[in-house]
Amino acid sequence: MPRLFFCCPFCPYFCRMGGQRREDLWPGLEVAIILKKDQRTGKKTTGTIRDLLTSAPYHSRGIKVRLESGEIGRVTEIIGDPE
């Protein structure tokens, strides 16, 4: 069963989205991201995190990451089991 995440630091509800808190992400984790060019369509790209690019602990649109493939985008969903 996937781990549930808070939507944001102020939200009392849990959701499956994840990707907005830096502490929930690390290199080697499989995620779905939205590339800058795909923001209008919402097309997701999946891959494994190589680097975390956002230094803030929280970002409302998702933490920016670089995948092993070199693609850069914001995390919309955590696919791999984080535990």
Look at residue 82 and tell me whether its pLDDT is greater than 90.
no
Q: Where are the beta strands (DSSP E) in the chain?
A: 5-6, 14-15, 30-35, 45-52, 64-67, 72-78
pLDDT level of residue 13 (50, 70, 90 thresholds): very low
Q: What is the pLDDT of residue 1?
A: 41
Which of 14 and 52 is assigned the larger pLDDT?
52
CA distances from 73 to 10, 39, 49 (A): 24, 10, 10
Confidence (pTM): 0.77
Q: How far apart are alpha carbons 41 and 48 in whole angstroms?
A: 22
Which of 44 and 10 is assigned the larger pLDDT?
44
